[in-house]
């Protein structure tokens, strides 16, 4: 076997320690596949004195990340420390000194990925980030390589395990949002501050990474329209079920008339859709292409070992190119993406109205829908004495028209309250 390949690692926490353990345990097989051993030579952490269950000598550790970045022997830098700074500067410096980089950092890549892609390109080094989207689920490489000949039309995913766990508990155990969140926190599925998960920021960062690869365009997390799941109620979940849907936090990116539409929001999806069966804290990505049809990638979106497998896969890819003397699929030189404004996207919608139970109400409500160019697909009325609830699902409508409809309904004297509204992801394309 040829010589070894030197790896430096920034971070040795949940993911980093799993990378170290798996690289050690599978070192023989990985070495045979690559044609050289992968050896972790230097690791930066915050606290070098911390006890760590990793098969690495104490001398490997440093609390100065630039020691690793400046080490001329390191060929591949694995970044699993997270955060924006100093991580961004460290990765740019590593690329400038000719190191290939592997990162799991969705926050950084989702917001400043372009700068890193450009720097990798300028320095002719590889930059891989499979673990930044859906942890252990391979999706970046399939999009970049296996589907290189495809024109992807839509990528739709469940990209956040915490929110999927919460929605699963709400659907299967009739929990309200707060109770399900508390349970996710107890089980360690939710961060101390769950905002990034429950408000959809985490999914938006991952969606922007997916969209930039799928549509070969420069887009960032800030371009993604975003709504979280905090307003989803038990009534929405129950109504979805009786209408044949499941509520999921969907991340959707599609190519429409040369523009990229990207959104993260709770949505009702048909119970028969493959994404509807993705339960608990699992992730899945559903890809639609004009030649290949429909594909689904499903698995563990987080956790040390699954995420480490993606990180190691990226490092192995680079290592093979180092051994063979070639260069892998590097950064993509893509143009800025034209982002489609949310108000021109098209979707079906669900609305729950509390209305007075008296003659003429239905006609008044139906007329308001028609006035706003939103056509009703189905309507269910539940009586409650002098009040009634109307559960409506629309045909495809333009977002701007639907928002105008909501504003008008809120002012109708026959409508007591718009109890809820939600987008419906259906087959009505
Ligand atoms: N956990 C997952 O399931 C998962 C899944 C997909 C992607 N990711 C991504 O992977 C990355 C790492 O996540 P993680 O869960 O492994 O995080 P973590 O457990 O908090 O580990 C972070 C590591 O980075 C070190 N570190 C932090 N700041 C540092 C600095 N300024 N200089 C040197 N070392 C520093 C920490 O050192 P100490 O150990 O001394 O504190 C720790 O070892 C993040 O970008 C995350 O978004 C994680």
Q: What is the DSSP string of 371-399?
A: HTT--EEEEEEEEETTEEEEEEEE-SEEH
Tens of pLDDT along the chain (429 residues)? 458 999 999 999 999 999 999 999 999 999 999 999 999 999 999 999 999 999 999 999 999 999 999 999 999 999 999 999 999 999 999 999 999 999 999 999 999 999 999 999 999 999 999 999 999 999 999 999 999 999 999 999 999 999 999 999 999 999 999 999 999 999 998 888 999 999 999 999 999 999 999 999 999 999 999 999 999 999 999 999 999 999 999 999 999 999 999 999 999 999 999 999 999 999 999 999 999 999 999 999 999 999 999 999 999 999 999 999 877 655 566 788 899 999 999 999 999 999 998 889 999 999 999 999 999 999 999 876 778 999 999 999 999 999 999 999 999 999 999 999 999 998 765
In the structure encoding, which two tokens stand for residue 334, read together? Answer: 């893509």
- Distance from residue 34's CA to the centre of ligand 1 (Å): 26
Whether the Cβ atoms of residue 140 and residue 314 lie closer than 8 Å to each other = no
Domains and CATH numbers, the chain: 5-136+304-324 (3.40.50.720), 140-300 (3.30.360.10), 342-425 (3.30.70.260)
- Distance from residue 81's CA to the centre of ligand 1 (Å): 3
Active-site choice (106, 169, 206, 248): 206
- For a mutational test of ligand 1's pocket, the pick from 9, 10, 14, i.e. the residue with the most ligand atoms closer than 8 A to its C-beta, is 14
Q: Which of 168, 181, 190 is nearest to 302 (CA)?
A: 190
* Ligand 1, residues at Cβ distance < 6 Å: 11-16, 44-47, 50, 65, 80-82, 86, 104-106, 131, 135, 302-303, 307
The pLDDT value recorded for residue 383 is 79
| Rounded distance between C-alpha atoms, residue 321 and residue 103, angstroms | 18
Give the pTM: 0.95
The pLDDT value recorded for residue 429 is 59
| Rounded distance between C-alpha atoms, residue 119 and residue 157, angstroms | 29
- For a mutational test of ligand 1's pocket, the pick from 8, 9, 11, i.e. the residue with the most ligand atoms closer than 8 A to its C-beta, is 11
To the query of whether residue 248 is one of the catalytic residues in this protein, the response is: no
Query: Which contiguous run of DSSP H or E holds residue 246?
Result: strand 245-256
- Distance from residue 13's CA to the centre of ligand 1 (Å): 5
Contacts of 343 (CB under 8 A, 6+ apart): 398, 399, 400, 403
């Amino acid at each position: 076997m040829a010589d070894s390949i030197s790896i430096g690692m920034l971070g040795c926490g949940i993911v980093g320690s799993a990378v170290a353990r798996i690289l050690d345990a599978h070192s023989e097989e990985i070495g045979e596949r690559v044609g050289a051993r992968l050896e972790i030579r230097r690791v930066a952490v915050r606290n070098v004195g911390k006890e760590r269950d990793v098969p690495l000598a104490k001398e490997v550790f440093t609390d100065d990340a630039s020691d690793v970045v400046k080490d001329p022997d390191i060929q591949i830098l694995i970044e699993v420390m997270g955060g924006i700074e100093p991580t961004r500067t460290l990765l740019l410096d590593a690329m400038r000194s000719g190191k290939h980089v592997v990162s799991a950092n969705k926050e950084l890549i989702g917001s400043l990925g372009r700068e890193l892609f450009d720097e990798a390109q300028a320095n002719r080094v590889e930059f891989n980030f499979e673990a930044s989207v859906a942890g252990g689920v391979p999706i970046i490489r399939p999009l970049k390589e296996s589907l290189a000949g495809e024109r992807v039309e839509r990528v739709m995913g469940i990209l956040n395990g915490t929110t999927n766990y919460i929605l699963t508990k709400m659907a299967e155990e009739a929990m309200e949002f707060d109770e399900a969140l508390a349970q996710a926190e107890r089980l360690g599925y939710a961060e101390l501050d769950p905002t990034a998960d429950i408000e959809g920021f985490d999914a938006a960062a991952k969606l922007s990474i997916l969209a930039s690869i799928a549509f070969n365009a420069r887009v960032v997390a800030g371009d993604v329209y975003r709504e979280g799941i905090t307003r989803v109620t038990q009534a929405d979940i129950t109504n979805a079920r009786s209408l044949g849907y499941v509520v999921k936090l969907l991340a959707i990116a599609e190519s429409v008339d040369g523009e990229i539409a990207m959104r993260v929001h709770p949505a009702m999806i048909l119970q028969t859709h493959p994404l509807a069966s993705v339960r608990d804290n699992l992730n899945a990505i559903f890809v639609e292409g004009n030649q290949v049809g429909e594909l689904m990638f499903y698995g563990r979106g987080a956790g040390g070992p699954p995420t480490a497998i993606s990180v190691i896969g990226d490092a192995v890819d680079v290592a093979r190119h180092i051994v063979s003397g070639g260069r892998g699929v590097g950064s993509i030189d893509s143009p800025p993406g034209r982002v489609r404004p949310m108000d021109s996207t098209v979707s079906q919608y669900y609305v729950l109205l509390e209305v007075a139970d008296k003659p003429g109400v239905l006609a008044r409500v139906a007329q308001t829908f028609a006035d706003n160019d939103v056509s009703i697909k189905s309507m269910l009325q539940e009586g409650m004495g002098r009040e009634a609830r109307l559960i409506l699902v629309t045909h495809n409508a333009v977002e701007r028209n639907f928002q105008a409809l909501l504003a008008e309904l809120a002012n109708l004297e026959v409508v007591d309250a718009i109890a809820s509204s939600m987008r419906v992801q259906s087959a009505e394309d």
